[in-house]
Amino acid sequence: MSTTRGLEGIVATTSSVSSIIESVLTYQGYDIDDLADNASFEEVIYLLWNGRLPKEDELRSFTQELADHAEIPQAIIDQMKSYPINEVHPMAALRTAISSLALFDESADVMEEEANRLKALKIQAQIPTIVTAFSRVREGKEPVAPRKDLGFAANFLYMLNGEEPDEIAVNAFNKALVLHADHELNASTFTARVCVATLSDVYSGITAAIGALKGPLHGGANEAVMSMLMEIGQVENVEPYIRKAFDNKEKIMGFGHRVYKNGDPRAKHLREMSKRLTGITGESKWYDMSIKIEDMVTGEKGLLPNVDFYSASVYHSLGIKHDLFTPIFAVSRASGWLAHILEQYSDNRLIRPRAEYVGPAKQTYIPIEQR
């Protein structure tokens, strides 16, 4: 048996949800650049789940269905109020809340396709409500109920802040959601597929995926990037900070990628958004610092920014709390996870690889009193 550390380069399944071929990312064959510039997040969810873009009336009713399912049980909110609120990371709260949602869904374990598609719709609709409700509950505020007349991106920002967002914020947030929606067999999507390939339920698959996304080598990197920017503080400090990190052989968060060696196609959109939004807020230092970091990390280490690097300053400019960055990633990536879960169910086989044994051999049991 031979092993490949971290399964690098291993093709573990077939999928028609998204592809990365020669550094070009597509969702169902549509280039991410095209979708980022033109599509609404609702259209992208529909595309990922149905394999085609919706017609006008289909999009209208799909958007309506999402809005109709956006409310969460009061018990989930009450449960949040019982958490040791100041110590709970919102990703942990989200993980628990999705798991709890299953308890309130009598079809949680029903395996028919229609039932699974309805669960997908409910989870996608309710993730924003959970994230925003938690954000408000921990600030001692009441959650804001979702509105049926707002689109997905606008509704998230509305529920978060309790006031209608402006068009610039909605468009930027929509674009960020589109850019994060799916990404082939990334760690959290693989986790979701492994989980449901045992014929476990959709809620378990999403709960598992949230756990995988939470780590700083995956979705948790966007929050870590913002912590780094805050620590650096100003452009003049970039050089010594990064130099010290290089000397200490530390990883610079938001750089590098397992698949993209010539650059992440999503990063340029977020770089552009960061420039624009930090200009609007009058805090261009976040963009200027990011550019300087990129110059150094790419110039000296040959590492390119990934999706998480510029999303940090984008979300910061939208006034979003830093520990909500990764939950927002989950709000978007849920669409991809759910597409992959439905695809896995449609042609399922248990995922069970092997491990090469490197432990001791031929051991003999020694009674405890003789050890």
State the number of binding residues for ligand ACO (CB under 6 A).
Answer: 18
**Which range binds ligand ACO by CB under 6 A, 45-53, 204-212, 216-224, 362-370?**
216-224
Contact assessment for residue 85 and residue 139, using Cβ atoms and an 8 Å cutoff: no
Give the phi and the psi of residue 31 in degrees, each rounded to 5. Answer: -60, 135
Nearer to ligand ACO, 43 or 182 (CB): 182
Question: Which member of 123, 181, 208, 253 binds ligand ACO (CB under 6 A)?
Answer: 253
Angstrom CA distances, 213 to 177, 216, 321, stand at: 15, 8, 18
What sign does the dihedral 327-331-334-336 (CA atoms) show?
negative
How many whole angstroms separate alpha carbon 172 and alpha carbon 175?
5
Question: Per-residue contact track with ligand ACO, 301 to 330, x per CB under 6 A?
Answer: x-x--xxx----------------------
Does position 47 bind ligand ACO by CB under 6 A? Answer: no
Strands 24-27 and 18-21: antiparallel
Return the number of the residue (101 or 228) whose C-beta is nearest ligand ACO: 228
Q: Does residue 201 have an active-site annotation?
A: no
Residues 6 to 25: which contact ligand ACO by CB under 6 A?
6
Residue nearest to ligand ACO (CB): 256
Q: How far apart are CA 111 and CA 103, in angstroms?
A: 16
**Selected binder of ligand ACO within 60, 148, 244, 258 (CB under 6 A):** 258
Two tokens at 206? 């999403």
Q: Closest CB to ligand ACO among 81 and 258?
A: 258
**Interaction of residue 219 with ligand ACO, rule CB under 6 A:** yes
218, 308, 316, 340: the active-site residue: 308
| Under rule CB under 6 A, residue 254 binds ligand ACO | yes
Instruction: Find residue 25's DSSP bridge partners.
Output: 20
> In this chain, which stretch among 49-57, 199-207, 253-261, 271-279 interacts with ligand ACO, using CB under 6 A?
253-261
The enclosing H or E element of 22 equals none
Q: Catalytic: 257?
A: yes
Q: Would you say 62 and 49 are in contact if contact means Cβ atoms under 8 Å apart?
A: no
Output the smallest distance, CB 145 to ligand ACO, in A.
31
The catalytic position among 257, 269, 316, 340 is 257
CA separation (Å) from 147 to 97, 134, 158?
21, 17, 8
- Residue identified by tokens 């399944």 is 13
Is 136 one of the binding residues for ligand ACO (CB under 6 A)? no
Which of 90, 165, 256, 327: binder of ligand ACO (CB under 6 A)? 256
**Closer CB to ligand ACO, 158 or 255, in the complex:** 255
Q: How far is CA 195 from each of CA 81, 199, 204, rounded to the nearest angstrom?
A: 29, 8, 7
CA distance 236 to 244: 14
Task: Report the nearest approach of ligand ACO to the CB of residue 264 (Å).
Answer: 7
Amino acid at 62: F
Instruction: Name the segment binding ligand ACO (CB under 6 A); options: 74-82, 217-225, 230-238, 337-345.
Output: 217-225
Residues with catalytic roles: 257, 308
